[in-house]
Structure 1
Amino acid sequence: MSASKNRRVVLAARPRGLPKPSDFRIEEAPIPQPQDGEVLLGVRYLSLDPYMRGRMDDRKSYAAPTALGQEMEGGTVATVLESRHPDFRPGETVLSYSGWQSHAVAKADELRKLDPKDAPVTTALGVLGMPGFTAYVGLGNIGKPKPGETVVVAAASGPVGSAVGQIAKIRGAWAVGIAGGKAKCDFVVDALGFDACLDHSAGDFPAQLAKACPRGIDVYFENVGGAVWDAVFPLLNDFARIPVCGLIAQYNADGDFPGPDRLPVVMRQVLSKRFQIQGFIQFDYEEQRPDFYRDMAQWIREGRVKYREDILEGLEQAPEGLIGLLQGRNFGKLIVRVAKD
């Protein structure tokens, strides 16, 4: 494909269950031209995140679905190529929401400047971006861990879960992670400093979780749902707080969920144990972004928060990358390098 064209990955079909490569299409389009107050961007890095699966379905949600033939949505790090706004100059690096494409036009008020001297620019898509902010506000406003309490988080090696556990440790809590496979669990404990991490695929996973949480669970940061929730639920203490961030085990469900109706049991325990279960979207707490940028940058400088990135090469890798993400194949924050630095 020609470098003089805008390369795009568009939604070609609504998936049924796990997306397939044929649900996406790579195409060329003219490079868009900025108008007054806009800038032309060259996308360098694209973030892949679980919420993108929901955008592929034509159903009511907190955000509109991606239209067929439209480029997939996503956060990006980009370089200003042309500017028609006095606050931006060619060559500057910005955080944008340009989606799965090589070039995009954006309004100036939709961009945030990034200084590569402050931190690697890819962190604006991970630990210093939406995933880190999600962990920060969900744990801080809903989980509210106290010193000595037990915090459990699923998908603990991912960008949200890894930040949740490390922030919990900073707050003085006992942090237990749940991840898929020994390598991820070892990383969560040895590199990130969690007190324990359990492989959800182990045959005796519920028993291992109970052993790792001898005082029960005070905060469960929900990223997964499914069998992980089934193991966590009996261990929840009175007044447990449950920030519901994601349900990745259910995103590819097609039709009715199997098994018995658990709702009566769950609701009885919500009442008798006085659980607080609250779903949230990170932009509900937009006013807390300055606090997040300040605190997270400091924790990274002090070595109290660490992160891992999983970078794929080339925009054409994005479809398989998202499919793999939904199956847990990534290890750390998944990013696509769209163009060389």
Structure 2
Amino acid sequence: MPQNRRFVLASRPEGEASAQNFRLETVETPALSDGQVLVRHHYLSLDPYMRGRMNEGKSYAAPQPLGEVMIGGTVGEVVESRHPRFAAGDKVQGMGGWQEWSVVDANQPGMLRKVDDSRVPLSHYLGAVGMPGVTGWYGLNRIIEPKPGKTVTVSAASGAVGSAVGVLAKARGCRAVGIAGGAEKCRYVVEELGFDACIDYREHPDLGSLSKALKQACPDGIDGHFENVGGMILDAVMLRSSAFARVALCGMIAGYDGQPIPLRHPQLILTNRMRVEGFIVSEHLDVWPEALAELGELVGSGRFRPRETVASGIEAAPEAFLGLLRGRNFGKQLVKLA
């Protein structure tokens, strides 16, 4: 059996996370028992939710245990199988974590899923045709409930979740307006993803300026908003929201390092009779087949062209993750392992 390099959580961050919070280990891969599958990971997904799991405080999921392999989605290939539903050579998606190999109990529901990489590149099953894409699909369709001609905005619009929201909103006849950091990301959002407009928040560093830019991009107001960031961006969106606007609250990356994220005008929720709803996509497994089917068709047909930032080798994972939290990635952040 192969040796396995893996990252475990060595310590909990105090404020901003650092590379010292992780520890690289090399361990022996155990022999398989009946019902188990050995998977060689090709790609590891890095996602903002991992930062919250590093904390010990109360959240929607249990904290990442110290000394154990960091949580994370993976895609790869079955190398050896002692389960009748899986064979060597199968391409699979699972939650293998920050490591090169994993031994998976395939009898546990949802632990491992076969994927077809003939039309959709394997890496996209961690992004546009994976958990981030389904996250965008659920927030848009089940919370925002878009209608043709209405305006939908999304923060972190060039990212794995935000890009899916915009493409799906356009497919439903909406005006899609993104918010992203930097001219290159904004060009991609408009020219390649097909958004109607994209606002560079770096050019609008204060609430007044960002709110004015949103007014110009959304002259009829904002009917639905998908929030990945929080802070000033959410404040600006609320100032421009229409009556009965709906907000799908997916992430608050502005506060992942522990600082408070005050809301400046909470009274607008009442004034505009807004619906603001947070959600965790893993609690809505019933929608995954429908969402993945639509997203797979959009990517396979070329109508959705997701971007990826790919780091190389397991040793690159901590710095790539820290870069993700600081907005240095362009599109989905991955680590190539094989």
When the two structures are superposed, what TM-score results if normalisation uses the length of structure 2?
0.94
Tell me, in whole angstroms, the C-alpha distance in 2 between the residues paired with 1:105 and 1:5. Answer: 12
Specify which of 242, 247, 267 is matched with residue 242 of structure 1. 247
Specify which of 214, 220, 230 is matched with residue 219 of structure 2. 214
Please name the residue that 2:336 is paired with.
337
Tell me, in whole angstroms, the C-alpha distance in 1 between the residues paired with 2:57 and 2:337. Answer: 30
Tell me, in whole angstroms, the C-alpha distance in 1 between the residues paired with 2:73 and 2:99. Answer: 11
Residues 200-211 of structure 1: pairs in structure 2 closer than 5 A = 200-203=201-204, 204-211=209-216
Deviation of 1:302 after TM superposition, in Å, equals 3.7
1:274 aligns with 2:295: no
1:95 aligns with 2:89: no
Tell me, in whole angstroms, the C-alpha distance in 1 between the residues paired with 2:145 and 2:240. Answer: 18
Deviation of 1:262 after TM superposition, in Å, equals 4.1
Tell me, in whole angstroms, the C-alpha distance in 2 between the residues paired with 1:39 and 1:180. Answer: 41
Tell me if the contact between 1:180 and 1:199 (Cα under 8 Å) persists in the aligned partners.
yes
Please name the residue that 1:140 is paired with.
141
Tell me if the contact between 1:32 and 1:40 (Cα under 8 Å) persists in the aligned partners.
no
Deviation of 1:175 after TM superposition, in Å, equals 0.4
Tell me, in whole angstroms, the C-alpha distance in 2 between the residues paired with 1:133 and 1:293. Answer: 7
User: Structure 2 counterpart of 1:142, which letter?
Assistant: I
Deviation of 1:294 after TM superposition, in Å, equals 1.9
Query: Deviations along 1:5-51, whole A, 9 cap, x unmatched?
Result: 21011111101222111111111111122211111111111000000
Tell me, in whole angstroms, the C-alpha distance in 1 between the residues paired with 2:37 and 2:120. Answer: 23
Q: Name structure 2 gaps, 5 residues minimum.
A: none
Tell me, in whole angstroms, the C-alpha distance in 2 between the residues paired with 1:298 and 1:309. Answer: 19
Tell me, in whole angstroms, the C-alpha distance in 1 between the residues paired with 2:10 and 2:315. Answer: 14
Residues 33-44 of structure 1: pairs in structure 2 closer than 5 A = 33-44=31-42
Specify which of 13, 22, 37 is matched with residue 15 of structure 1. 13
Deviation of 1:307 after TM superposition, in Å, equals 0.9
Tell me if the contact between 1:170 and 1:304 (Cα under 8 Å) persists in the aligned partners.
no
Tell me, in whole angstroms, the C-alpha distance in 2 between the residues paired with 1:250 and 1:188. Answer: 25
Tell me if the contact between 1:185 and 1:198 (Cα under 8 Å) persists in the aligned partners.
yes
Tell me if the contact between 1:32 and 1:103 (Cα under 8 Å) persists in the aligned partners.
no
Query: Deviations along 1:43-71, whole A, 9 cap, x unmatched?
Result: 11100000000110012212111111111
Query: Deviations along 1:241-297, whole A, 9 cap, x unmatched?
Result: 00000011111134xx37xx647x41x322231100000011222111221122122
Please name the residue that 1:285 is paired with.
284
Tell me if the contact between 2:239 and 2:268 (Cα under 8 Å) persists in the aligned partners.
no
Please name the residue that 2:156 is paired with.
155
How many residue pairs get aligned? The number is 331
Deviation of 1:162 after TM superposition, in Å, equals 0.5
Deviation of 1:298 after TM superposition, in Å, equals 2.1
Specify which of 232, 235, 240 is matched with residue 227 of structure 1. 232
User: Which range moved further: 203-212 or 191-200?
Assistant: 203-212
User: Structure 1 counterpart of 2:41, which letter?
Assistant: V
Residues 1-341 of structure 1: pairs in structure 2 closer than 5 A = 4-108=2-106, 109=109, 110-203=111-204, 204-254=209-259, 257=260, 262=263, 265-266=265-266, 268-339=267-338
User: Structure 2 counterpart of 1:102, which letter?
Assistant: E
Q: Name structure 1 gaps, 5 residues minimum.
A: none
SS of residue in 1 equivalent to 2:41: strand
Query: Deviations along 1:211-264, whole A, 9 cap, x unmatched?
Result: 11111100010100011112111101110000000011111134xx37xx647x
Deviation of 1:300 after TM superposition, in Å, equals 2.5
User: Which range moved further: 302-311 or 66-75?
Assistant: 302-311
Tell me if the contact between 2:231 and 2:263 (Cα under 8 Å) persists in the aligned partners.
no
Deviation of 1:208 after TM superposition, in Å, equals 1.3
Tell me, in whole angstroms, the C-alpha distance in 2 between the residues paired with 1:160 and 1:322. Answer: 16
SS of residue in 2 equivalent to 1:147: coil
Tell me if the contact between 2:120 and 2:299 (Cα under 8 Å) persists in the aligned partners.
no
Percent of matched pairs sharing the same residue: 48
Deviation of 1:82 after TM superposition, in Å, equals 1.5
Q: CA RMSD in A?
A: 1.5
- Over 3 Å counting, the alpha-carbon distance change for 1:301 and 1:84 in structure 2 is closer
User: Structure 2 counterpart of 1:335, which letter?
Assistant: L
Tell me if the contact between 1:39 and 1:85 (Cα under 8 Å) persists in the aligned partners.
yes
Tell me, in whole angstroms, the C-alpha distance in 2 between the residues paired with 1:335 and 1:78. Answer: 13
User: Structure 2 counterpart of 1:111, which letter?
Assistant: L
Tell me, in whole angstroms, the C-alpha distance in 1 between the residues paired with 2:246 and 2:30. Answer: 47
User: Which range moved further: 45-54 or 26-35?
Assistant: 26-35
